[in-house]
């Protein structure tokens, strides 16, 4: 019988449920788990469908789609980057994402990803630093104290053993917010009045500022030998954070070169400037840090595989936590050819 049923419900993780999930599991637990998921996917990097993200630029920002597939599951993220949003009380970055079953094409998860992006970015940064930063690093400078910053600090604490973060932002209110949010979390937090002060004694420098221009958050003379730089904020054409001379002194590690050459710090360099793919370091096909005096740079732009890993992680927690609702998103009549009949029967 042709009933009007349409039972292809899609699990949906709202912002509210994402917050509950993170609180239920604990932020640092989630960051550690995500780093493990992302690392596992980097180990099977060659089997993913990969493409630079599809970006739609405007004068004030960018809207991007980030798709990938491992042959069984397909995923994409919708994400924006609008540095001027903050002045209107809006987020610079917002996102949501979807997983689908490759065998049927049916969606199997829809999730908020504004919070999840901050978590996965921090997990990826710390995962990269685990491979590249000087052994025994304990102090990190954190330049740019906006939405991503606390996640970065806690990711490096949980995954790399950082014990001290030195904060700097051109806006002291952002630094005060970050310091307050990090209080009582087992980190020594030092608020600094200049980037020079922030990098004092730091083995790791994270830059996570937002400005749609070629900015110079770090100049060449600020970066001593042996440090690891985690450059997160420069992630679209015309938007960078580091002086070019730093890049020329550094060993540069990237997620997906085809995307990073368009969006990362290395857009400042010749298109054939050598870079090392992070997945190859993890698989033993390329070397990470080879010298205590070497400057290593993770030119992070955020790649679709990291979002895929993060969505898959969230999906794996649904049954255990029940933190989702069912979304009536797919029209799925019992007789697949009678789509029009669904309208008639609904009347």
Q: How far apart are CA 280 and CA 201, in angstroms?
A: 30
Tokens 């904060």 sit on residue: 167
Q: Counting Cβ atoms within 10 Å, is residue 84 exposed (0-12), middle (13-18) or buried (19+)?
A: middle
Which span (146-154, 186-194, 221-229, 245-253) binds ligand NAD, by CB under 6 A?
146-154
Number of amino acids touching ligand NAD (CB under 6 A):
29
Going by DSSP bridges, is the β-strand pair 62-69/54-57 parallel, antiparallel, or unpaired?
antiparallel
68 binds ligand NAD (CB under 6 A): no
86 binds ligand NAD (CB under 6 A): yes
- Which residue lies nearer to ligand NAD by CB, 147 or 165? 147
Contact residues for 206 (Cβ-Cβ < 8 A; gap 6+): 125, 140, 141, 142, 143, 144, 152, 156, 229, 230, 231, 232
Reference 68, options 49, 47, 43, 44; nearest CA is 49
Greatest distance between any 2 Cα atoms in the chain: 76
- Which residue lies nearer to ligand NAD by CB, 240 or 324? 240
182 binds ligand NAD (CB under 6 A): no
240 binds ligand NAD (CB under 6 A): no
Which span (41-49, 144-152, 157-165, 244-252) binds ligand NAD, by CB under 6 A?
144-152
CB of 5 to ligand NAD, least distance (A): 41
Reference 310, options 69, 114, 117, 48; nearest CA is 117
Where would I find the H helices in the chain? 15-25, 27-43, 114-132, 149-160, 172-182, 195-198, 244-249, 257-263, 278-282, 304-316, 318-321, 339-346
73 binds ligand NAD (CB under 6 A): no
Going by DSSP bridges, is the β-strand pair 73-81/62-69 parallel, antiparallel, or unpaired?
antiparallel
Identify whether the C-beta of residue 100 lies closer than 8 Å to the C-beta of residue 327: no
CB of 169 to ligand NAD, least distance (A): 4
- Which residue lies nearer to ligand NAD by CB, 117 or 333? 117
CB of 123 to ligand NAD, least distance (A): 10
Identify whether the C-beta of residue 191 lies closer than 8 Å to the C-beta of residue 198: no
64 binds ligand NAD (CB under 6 A): no
176 binds ligand NAD (CB under 6 A): no
User: 30: which 2 tokens?
Assistant: 């989630």
Closest residue by beta carbon to ligand NAD: 146
Which span (38-46, 167-175, 197-205, 329-337) binds ligand NAD, by CB under 6 A?
167-175
Kindly write out the interface string for residues 89-128 of this chain, putting x where it contacts ligand NAD by CB under 6 A and - elsewhere.
---xx-----------------------x---x-------
User: Catalytic amino acids?
Assistant: 235
235 binds ligand NAD (CB under 6 A): yes
- Single residue of 116, 143, 222, 252 touching ligand NAD by CB under 6 A: 143
CB of 146 to ligand NAD, least distance (A): 2
> Which residues make up the interface to ligand NAD (CB under 6 A)?
81, 86, 92-93, 117, 121, 143-149, 169-171, 174, 208-211, 215, 217, 232-233, 235, 300-302
């Amino acid at each position: 019988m042709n009933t009007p049923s349409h039972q292809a419900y899609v699990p949906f993780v709202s912002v509210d449920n994402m917050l509950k999930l993170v609180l239920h599991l604990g932020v640092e637990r989630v960051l550690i788990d995500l780093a493990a998921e992302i690392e596992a996917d980097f180990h099977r990097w060659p089997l993913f469908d990969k493409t630079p993200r599809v970006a739609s630029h405007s004068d004030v920002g960018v809207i991007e789609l980030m798709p990938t597939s491992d042959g069984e599951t397909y995923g994409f993220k919708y994400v924006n980057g609008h540095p001027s949003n903050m002045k209107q009380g809006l987020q610079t970055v917002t996102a949501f994402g979807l997983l689908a079953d490759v065998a049927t094409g049916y969606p199997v998860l829809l999730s908020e990803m504004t919070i999840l992006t901050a978590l996965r970015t921090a997990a990826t940064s710390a995962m990269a630093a685990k491979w590249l930063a000087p052994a025994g690093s304990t102090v990190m400078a954190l330049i740019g104290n906006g939405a991503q910053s606390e996640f970065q600090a806690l990711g490096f604490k949980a995954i790399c053993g950082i014990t001290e973060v030195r904060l700097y932002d051109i806006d002291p209110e952002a630094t005060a917010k970050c310091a307050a949010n990090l209080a009582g979390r087992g980190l020594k937090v030092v608020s600094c009045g200049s980037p020079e002060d922030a990098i004092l004694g730091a083995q790791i420098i994270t830059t996570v500022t937002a400005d749609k221009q070629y900015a110079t958050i770090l100049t060449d003379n600020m970066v001593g030998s042996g440090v690891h730089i985690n450059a997160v904020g420069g992630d679209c054409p015309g938007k960078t954070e580091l002086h070019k001379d730093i890049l020329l002194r550094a060993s540069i590690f990237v997620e997906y070169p085809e995307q990073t050459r368009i969006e990362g710090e290395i857009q400042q360099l010749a298109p054939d400037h050598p870079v090392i793919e992070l997945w190859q370091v993890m698989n033993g096909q390329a070397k990470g840090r080879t010298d205590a005096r070497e400057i290593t740079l993770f030119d992070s732009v955020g790649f679709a595989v990291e979002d895929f890993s993060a969505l898959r992680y969230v999906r794996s927690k649904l049954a255990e936590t029940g933190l989702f609702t069912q979304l009536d998103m797919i029209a799925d009549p019992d007789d697949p050819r009678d789509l029009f009949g669904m309208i008639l029967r609904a009347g």
